[in-house]
Amino acid sequence: MRHLLVALALASSTAFAAPAAPPNLIVIDAKLTTAGQPSAEWLGTLREQGFEAVIYLAPPTVMNAVRDEPLIVGKQGLIWANLPIRFGSPVDADYESFAALLKALRGKKVLVHCEVNMRASALTFLYRTLAEGTDPNLAWEAVSKVWTPQGPWKALLLKRLSAQGIAFDPF
Question: For the chain, which domains are there?
Answer: 18-163 (3.90.190.10)
Looking at residue 153, its pLDDT comes to: 98
Residue 110's DSSP bridge partners are 32, 53
Mean pLDDT for the stretch of residues 96-107: 98
Amino acid, res. 29: D
What is d(CA 43, CA 53) in angstroms, rounded to the nearest whole number? Answer: 11
> Which residues, 6+ apart, have CB-to-CB distance to 60 below 8 Å?
67, 69, 82, 84
Alpha helices by DSSP H, listed for 16-165, are: 40-43, 69-74, 92-104, 118-126, 136-144, 151-163
Local confidence band at 17 (pLDDT 50, 70, 90 cut-offs):
confident
Looking at residue 15, its pLDDT comes to: 56
**pLDDT surpassing 80 at residue 1:** no
Report the predicted TM-score, pTM, of the whole model to 2 decimal places.
0.89
Q: In the chain, what percentage of residues exceed pLDDT 70?
A: 91
